[in-house]
């Protein structure tokens, strides 16, 4: 059995340090101060023009062996600074797909290449969307539904003192 590493993309903002505490299935998997940019959180209309690095990682997690496909309950609490922007979630050991000419070629994943942790909406999440986070609750308020389903990966703003709870959906790993 091979355990995967998950990378959570995003950025932290504010004029004081931001600490992120992440739990998965009630186990604390991350509780550390993250690199913080001394600025306000970007406006929603400006976020689409930004590229986000890895904000934090859950390394070699036995909660996500390559044989696992499904959802785990995740909560993320932010303290300090303005807060964070959270975008995609990547995983190692995911099937790699590349297009050569008109032929789609697939290859097994490996330890050093990271791709979306939720591929082709498999397994189907609670909303049938391509976002790896479903059944999102932000500070006790249900986010999706009642909002319309997303057509891609959502970007979540989690402000200082806020908690985001969701189902974190992960597809089956693929190892050579």
Of the candidates 131, 122, 127, 118, the one whose C-alpha atom is nearest the C-alpha of residue 148 is 127
Question: Under 8 Å CB-to-CB from 146, ≥6 apart: which residues?
Answer: none
Question: Under 8 Å CB-to-CB from 131, ≥6 apart: which residues?
Answer: 118, 125, 150, 152, 153, 154
pLDDT tens for residues 71-91?
999 999 999 999 999 999 999
pLDDT tens for residues 5-64?
999 999 999 999 999 999 999 999 999 999 999 999 999 888 888 899 999 999 999 999
- 104: Cα separation from own chain's centroid: 26
What sign has the CA pseudo-torsion 145, 148, 153, 158? negative
Give the model's pLDDT for residue 114. 95
What is the pTM for the complete model shown?
0.91
Averaged confidence pLDDT in the chain: 90
Residue 148's pLDDT band (boundaries 50, 70, 90)? Answer: low
Residue 147, pLDDT > 70, answer: no
Examine residue 67 and say whether the peptide bond preceding it is cis (omega within 30 degrees of 0). no
pLDDT tens for residues 164-174?
999 999 999 98
CA angle 115, 30, 38 (to 5 degrees): 85
């Amino acid at each position: 059995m091979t355990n995967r590493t998950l990378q959570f993309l995003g950025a932290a903002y504010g004029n004081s340090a931001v600490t992120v505490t992440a739990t998965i299935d009630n186990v604390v998997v991350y509780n550390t101060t993250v690199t913080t940019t001394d600025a306000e959180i970007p406006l929603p209309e400006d976020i689409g023009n930004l590229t986000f690095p890895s904000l934090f990682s859950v390394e070699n997690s036995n909660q996500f062996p390559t044989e696992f496909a499904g959802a785990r309950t995740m909560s993320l609490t932010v303290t300090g600074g303005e807060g964070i922007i959270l975008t995609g979630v990547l995983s190692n050991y995911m099937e790699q797909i590349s297009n050569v000419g008109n032929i789609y070629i697939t290859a097994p994943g490996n330890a050093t290449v990271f791709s979306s942790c939720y591929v082709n909406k498999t397994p189907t999440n609670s909303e049938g969307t391509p976002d790896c986070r479903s059944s999102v609750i932000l500070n006790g308020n249900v986010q999706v539904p009642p909002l319309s389903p997303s057509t891609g990966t959502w970007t979540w703003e989690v402000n200082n003192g806020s908690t985001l709870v969701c189902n974190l959906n992960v597809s089956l790993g693929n190892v050579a």
